[in-house]
Amino acid sequence: MNIQLMNVAVDIIEQRLAPLANVLTRNNHITAMRDSFALAMPFVIVGSLLVPILFPPVSIDGASRFGQVYLLLRPILLQTFQLTIGLVALIVAFGASASLAKQYRLPERLCGLTGCLAFLLFIGFRETAVSNVYLGGMGIFTALISSTYSIEIIRFFYKKGWCIRLPDEVPLMTRNGFQLLIPLLVVMLSISVMNAILLQTTGRIVPELISEAVRPLVLASDTLMAVLISLLICNLLWFIGIHGALIITGIMNPFWMTYLFENQQALAAGSPTLPHIYLQGFWDFYLLIGGIGSTLPLVLMAMRSRSRQLKSVAKIGLLPSLFNINEPILFGFPVIMNPVFLLPFLFVPLINACIAWYLTQLGILDRAVAMLPWSMPSPLGAAWSANGSWKNLCMSLFAMFNAWMLYRPFFKVYERQLAETER
């Protein structure tokens, strides 16, 4: 690739994208949102691991001995599923509130609990209310908004000094508790008043209005164009050394989590076609094979390279790459800021995304119903996230082969350059 053209491209990225990326990376609310989903992840993963058992891809004969044992165990496992997946919005509310409070140097646990109470008030929580469905994936956007609202109110009151301050001799927890009393009262009363006004004027509660407002955005985010744009921005940022995945996943997590629960609901209802394609499983196991840029084939090629540098880096990077960690490759080859690898680094995942998207849309591939750790080997993760789909496993292997074929000519050029300098 022409070096001057490469320099122009890098300059554009650094001047236009990098400042925005830095702002988003340091943004308090983006950080709080990212932290809240990191907190919720283990609970969602535990619930997701039960999906193939609770909703098996094959029918089970209830008359057989195995079927009888299964029918006995299913209600027990269903409780675990409902109390992990079914309460995820409440966990997100606590996580976002506590994270935002930490950044503002407010008492984290008290603010986290305040965010939870604000969320429960917003959804009109009752012991048997229909609105309790918003405790799960349907309430994620409400959880984020209620957390932001409650913590910003507390921060405002603390900043103005409109709170009860006790002497330093009083124990810290007691002091913090009294300091929170006035802003807590304002948060709770203001939400109650808002709820009453909305019910009188619209006949609906806050999460219903929020769901209606964000629905066009939710639908727009589950398109091939959304996949390609998010992937291109992520890889462009990574190419100049900025952790683009932190920004993109931070923004996409609320949508991915919402899609996950809607797919799980459709699966539980026996729907033949699940509603959403672009879930975290699609991102992790089709587009990040071996890490950002789908670089696992580069490692495998470098294991038998004529270049001592590439071979030594590959030996270090092979094991992490199997678990989608490719920083040793990105910085060791290097791929970052290397003009030889710019085109394949950007376009290999984009091409795989198009293939996987259209095959899923045609019904050839299955849609994800489980969230798994992103570090799971891609073929295994692709199958497991789609309820044990062997077709998705084959697609992940094909994406790996496709990446190999597309990276190979660029790898050969770079290998030849290094081999000449090492003589």
Average pLDDT over the chain, rounded to an integer: 89
**Model confidence band, residue 8 (pLDDT cutoffs 50, 70, 90):** low
- Tell me what the mean pLDDT of segment 271-300 comes to: 94
The b/e string for 237-266 (b: 16+ C-beta within 10 A; e otherwise) is: bbbbebebbbbbbbbbbbbbbbbbbbbbbb
CA distance 249 to 282: 12
* pLDDT tens string 92-140: 999 999 999 999 999 999 999 999 999 999 998 765 555 578 898 889 9
Which residue in this structure is represented by tokens 């993760």?
381
* Res 251: pLDDT: 87
* Res 155: pLDDT: 97
Cα 133 to Cα 119, 261, 269, distances in angstroms: 13, 11, 15
The answer to whether residue 390 scores a pLDDT higher than 50 is yes
* Res 330: pLDDT: 92
Sign of the Cα pseudo-torsion (296, 300, 302, 303, in order): positive
Indicate the residue type of 289.
Answer: I
3 state SS for 210-225: HHHHHHHHHHHCCCHH
In the structure, how many helices (H) and strands (E) does the chain have?
Answer: 19, 0
The answer to whether residue 337 scores a pLDDT higher than 70 is yes
Which residue, among 355, 360, 341, 368, has the nearest Cα to 398 in the 3D structure?
A: 355
How does DSSP classify residue 366?
P
CB-CB contact of 38 with 105 (8 Å): no
In percent, the amount of the chain with pLDDT more than 90 equals 61
* pLDDT tens string 179-206: 999 999 999 999 999 999 998 998 888 8
Residues, the chain, total? 423
CA distance 294 to 353: 11
Cα 204 to Cα 131, 149, 173, 210, 258, distances in angstroms: 10, 20, 38, 10, 21
* Res 1: pLDDT: 46
Domain regions of the chain by residue span: 50-213, 221-422
The answer to whether residue 396 scores a pLDDT higher than 70 is yes
* Rg of the chain on CA atoms, in Å: 25
Sign of the Cα pseudo-torsion (147, 152, 158, 161, in order): negative
Indicate the residue type of 21.
Answer: A
